[in-house]
Amino acid sequence: MLTNTPKLSVRKLSLFYGRQQALFNINMDIRKNEVMALIGPSGCGKSSFLRCLNRMNDTFDTVQVVGNVLLDGKDIYDKSVDVVQLRACVGMVFQRANPFPKSIYDNVAYGPRIHGIAKSSADLDAIVQSSLERAGLLREVHDRLHQLGTSLSGGQQQRLCIARAIAVNPEVILMDEPCSALDPIATARVEELIDELRERFTIVMVTHNLQQAARVSQRIAFFHSGELVEAGETGDVFTNPQDKRTQDYLTGRY
Amino acid sequence: MPPVTEHIVKSYEDELNRLVAMITNLGQEVTSQLQKAIQAIIDHDLKTADRIIKDDPKIDRLEHEIDDFAVRLIALRQPVAADLRHVIVALKISSSLERIADNVGNVAGRFTELKKNSKLEPLKTIPPLMNLIEEMVEGIMTAYITQDDKAAYELWMQDDEVDHLYNSFMRELLTYMMEDPRNISPCIHMLIMGKNIERMGDHITNIAENIHYLVHGTLWSKDILADYKKSKGRIKKKAPRKGK
């Protein structure tokens, strides 16, 4: 179901932390229903870039963003954009699972409640059920929805966070190293989940695990020193990278 | 382009280098078999021909060792990009080299079948043909080690020469067979020797194509050779400027 219309279009994006420039003139298209993996050495700007896609950088006064990020052709940095709505539309999953100190149920119901998505409590129940289902967690927690989210294992907590992110019907999900704190089995579950989620969502994911990027992404973008060095089909980049910096990074010669 | 920078993990670098060394060693063994076969035919030496056949399992063993090493390297290191191409190409080249050795074995086998006919006139055509192959094997191994795509293209084109020599050898044999039906049996053996040598040339072109993939990461196509011939024309014109 890959289409060529970009879901997200990034144009001439630069980012400054105070006077220090962290991203330089990034241009990138992210297609609908694809997993785009962002890779690169620590400090290369990939996480900063990811945070630009739902204006998470707005929360810091010293950060200045120049350029455009178009979501379905509309600039998300436009003054008329409601940032809360934007973040419901472009959800985020972090490196460390960060469930609220609330029940499993309330963790997932939190978003739909504040965004007024559910019309009734039965409606809310249905949203929580289907979100947990889609996050592949329902079977494991269906009989203990009122236990604390923090009582789950690391892998389950991460899938709970994914359920929380998809409960508000986002279109894009941003993931910042979602598996770096998980064991191989929990990682495989999340990767399988990402593959399933791709049917409904567009996913942009930062990862340090190159093999994970190879396994889950359709396209890959390599960042270096705040620049986008190379972006392309994952299979192409992993067999025949065009830029020497990409080559050196992928093969461990960086 | 090939990675010139060293790997961060030294043991990984060592393993990749070892793979090249194993291929080089296999290439040397194949060359030595070729040399022995040439000498055996020139000297009408059936004993050496026999030894070539007996030594073939040793070459098979080398190929297996390369396969085994490459498979472990894939499993344990998960190579990507140029490193991955390196391992894949090593697997393919080792198999091509082993096939060349098989062809040499077949040539030696047919030669021993000739027995008292081993001094037949057209046999003289075979050593020069095999000499050409031997040079090409040495050339292609150097091209592989130095990742010299242009040398590989040149060798690819040199296969035309092999085909040409093989065709004229066939015509020569036909003449002998028509001259005297008693020549038919030994000539068939020699025809098969020629066919085996012609196949060696084809394996060398395969290796040349693998070298192209190793260097460029794109699969072989006929256009590559056409482009190369064109670029060569340009380089030739500009040649005088190279001096400075």
The CATH number that applies at residue B14 is 1.20.58.220
pLDDT at A3: 54
Do B83 and A251 count as a contact with CB atoms less than 8 A apart?
Answer: yes
Do A253 and B6 count as a contact with CB atoms less than 8 A apart?
Answer: yes
Burial of B86 (0-12, 13-18, 19+ CB in 10 A): buried
C-alpha gyration radius of chain B: 20
pLDDT digits (tens, 9 = 90+) for A89-104: 999 999 888 999 999 9
Chain B hits for A253, CB-CB cut-off 8 Å, are 3, 5-8
> Where are any strands of DSSP class E within chain A?
6-17, 20-31, 35-39, 63-71, 74-75, 90-93, 172-176, 202-206, 219-224, 227-233
Specify if B114 maps to a domain. Answer: yes
pLDDT at B243: 39
Do B80 and A250 count as a contact with CB atoms less than 8 A apart?
Answer: yes
The nearest CA of chain B is from the CA of A220 a distance in Å of: 14
pLDDT at B7: 83
Residues B151 and B71: their CA atoms lie apart, in Å, by 28
**In chain A, which residue's Cα lies nearest the Cα of B7?**
A253
pTM: 0.81
Among B80, B216, B218, whose Cβ lies nearest the Cβ of A251? B80
To test the contact with chain A by mutation, choose from B4, B5, B219 the residue with the greatest count of A C-beta atoms within 10 A, namely B5
Domain count, chain B: 1
Among A214, A247, A253, whose Cβ lies nearest the Cβ of B8? A253
Do A253 and B5 count as a contact with CB atoms less than 8 A apart?
Answer: yes
Residues A165 and A174: their CA atoms lie apart, in Å, by 9
Q: Provide the residue-wise pLDDT of chain B in tens; the chain has 244 residues.
A: 344 578 888 888 899 999 999 999 999 999 999 999 999 999 999 999 999 999 999 999 999 999 999 999 998 889 999 999 999 999 999 999 999 999 999 999 999 998 777 678 888 999 999 999 999 999 999 999 999 999 999 999 999 999 999 999 999 999 999 999 999 999 999 999 999 999 999 999 999 999 999 999 999 998 999 999 998 875 544 444 443 3
Do B80 and A240 count as a contact with CB atoms less than 8 A apart?
Answer: no
The nearest CA of chain B is from the CA of A155 a distance in Å of: 25
Buried b or exposed e, range A170-203, using 16+ CB within 10 angstroms? bbbbbbbbbbebbeeebbebbbebbeebbeebbb
Residue A79, H or E segment: none
Backbone phi, psi, residue B41, to 5°: -70, -40
Do A253 and B1 count as a contact with CB atoms less than 8 A apart?
Answer: no
The nearest CA of chain A is from the CA of B217 a distance in Å of: 5
pLDDT at B154: 97
Do B81 and A252 count as a contact with CB atoms less than 8 A apart?
Answer: no
If one looks up domain A6-99+171-250 in CATH, what number appears?
A: 3.40.50.300
Helices (H) and strands (E) in chain A, counts: 10, 10
**In chain B, which residue's Cα lies nearest the Cα of A243?**
B1
pLDDT at B118: 65
Question: Percent of chain A at pLDDT above 70?
Answer: 98
**In chain A, which residue's Cα lies nearest the Cα of B12?**
A252
Backbone phi, psi, residue A74, to 5°: -105, 135
Distance of CA A204 to the CA centre of its chain: 5
**In chain A, which residue's Cα lies nearest the Cα of B83?**
A251
pLDDT at A73: 93
ipTM, two decimals = 0.71
pLDDT at A93: 92
State the average pLDDT over residues A175-194: 89
Q: How many CB pairs under 8 A join A and B?
A: 45
Backbone phi, psi, residue B187, to 5°: -65, -30
Bridge-based pairing state of the strands A20-31 and A6-17: antiparallel
Q: Which domain holds residue B122?
A: 10-233
Specify if B196 maps to a domain. Answer: yes
pLDDT at B117: 72
pLDDT at B2: 43
